[in-house]
Structure 1
């Protein structure tokens, strides 16, 4: 099952009367007004999903800024959105699915059979001239049964060792990977051995995913290849889910590090590398930040 549905496909599905749960994940780093944006306009019948409170537990240093919620809590939340057993779910946002991908990944991990991202999100729906509505939607509670563990994950220990036998991708902006800026996490840089592959390069200017062949070429250019294990992290495990979806479109599977750099950089026992190359702390691949903030070449 591919992760995307396009606007014509979704429109046709709705017109045919096929039950479809639409979930609006309007969230972006630094923008706390997702619900306000949703209330102003959203796809007809779409239910608002609050990423910070419904797709994550409260932030704690040893789990990161957006820890995954428990299966029980997530199931209660999905039922509150009106999701029933056997439903088709379509998630979207207004930022190239960078936030909606978190929900897509979580529902896939929970074993939901059919969950999709609306390619291009709200912008694509609007550009097609299709109707939007304002206000809040309050669905009848659903009865969905969710599991867990259907998508591969890694923890900090596995992420540390991953570059020795596989490829660890850093999905954040290049300047954060290189350690030039760090707006939210306690240390700047990247996990030693990780390769920079910003999530923003997965989509075109309209926010739609690149064609599978283009995505495959993109990922092959940073070292992804058949048979080579891949894991992905970002700042807090949100946009890394987008990278997992893009890799799937390209024909690759990847594990997610949910705690990501927000967890890693809070642990004083874990090193941080800086610079443009992966580096392992022992050669020319970038500086190696030691616990406590000192930097050794």
Structure 2
């Protein structure tokens, strides 16, 4: 079963699915998510807006910049969108599906089973010359019940030990992995033993998932593609994108939600640099 849906297929199925817009931009101290403004300027007709920072993550703290959210908050967000336990849900963001993958992962983590991502996001919808709307639907009263724990996770201890028995993938850009630059977190580098697999390398120039995901995965795994996989990034957002790509290949990846932003909060944890 694919976890992705094309703009054309969504247009065909739209009456039978709940569409959720999760456009989001990484900001440092901004008062609000610019994704909400983008939503108000135009969105897929009937789409509800869910905020990544407040509804798909807990407040920043010891667990990193985007800790896992309170399941009750996710439940309320989904109910507001009219979601029940049996609903079919499609999520999208602006283009590359980074935030949409986080929504896909979180919604599945709380027990929603039928969640797909609009491949190429809102940009793909517009490129297909499909209708847009500025009307926000009225809140609904869905009956979804959160049952957290349906997706595998690991903590800092588990992530640190992972390279001893499997593949630990770092989804950040190569220069951040190498410790050459670090624009967000206080320490540069990566978890020792992790392999770098930049999120952008899984995408086409149009922001869609590559057609040759299997071949790309073999290149990334470098002969270790039968080993268990865990993924992390800066704060657990783009790592979910890796989990989505691997799910398309039938591989269940374990997410380290705290990621680098949690790892470096403890100065006793080792840090590696270099490519």
Q: TM-score range by the shorter chain?
A: over 0.9
Corresponding residue number in structure 2 for 1:119 = 119
Conserved? CA contact 1:40–1:135, under 8 Å: no
Matches of 2:117 and 2:158, distance apart in 1: 28
Q: How does 1:14-33 map to 2 (within 5 A)?
A: 14=14, 17-18=15-16, 20-30=17-27, 32-33=33-34
Corresponding residue number in structure 2 for 1:178 = 178
Corresponding residue number in structure 2 for 1:223 = 221
Conserved? CA contact 1:247–1:253, under 8 Å: yes
Corresponding residue number in structure 2 for 1:39 = 40
Give the gaps of 5 or more residues in structure 1: 277-297
TM-score normalised to structure 1 length = 0.87
Q: How does 1:202-281 map to 2 (within 5 A)?
A: 202-211=202-211, 214-223=212-221, 225-276=224-275
Give the gaps of 5 or more residues in structure 2: none
Q: Tell me which structure has the larger Cα radius of gyration.
A: 1
Task: Give the secondary-structure state (helix, strand or coil) at the position aligned to 1:152.
Answer: coil
Matches of 1:2 and 1:110, distance apart in 2: 20
* Deviation for aligned residue 1:89: 0.5
* Deviation for aligned residue 1:266: 1.3
Matches of 2:234 and 2:2, distance apart in 1: 25
* Deviation for aligned residue 1:135: 4.2
* Deviation for aligned residue 1:226: 4.3
Q: Aligned pair count?
A: 270
Task: Give the secondary-structure state (helix, strand or coil) at the position aligned to 1:144.
Answer: coil
Return the structure number with greater relative CO, CA threshold 8 A, min gap 6.
Answer: 2
TM-score normalised to structure 2 length = 0.94
Task: Give the secondary-structure state (helix, strand or coil) at the position aligned to 2:11.
Answer: helix
Conserved? CA contact 1:28–1:95, under 8 Å: no
Conserved? CA contact 1:162–1:168, under 8 Å: yes
* Cα-to-partner distance string for 1:147-192 (whole Å, 9 max, x where unaligned): 1111111110000000011000000111110111111111011111
Matches of 2:95 and 2:273, distance apart in 1: 28
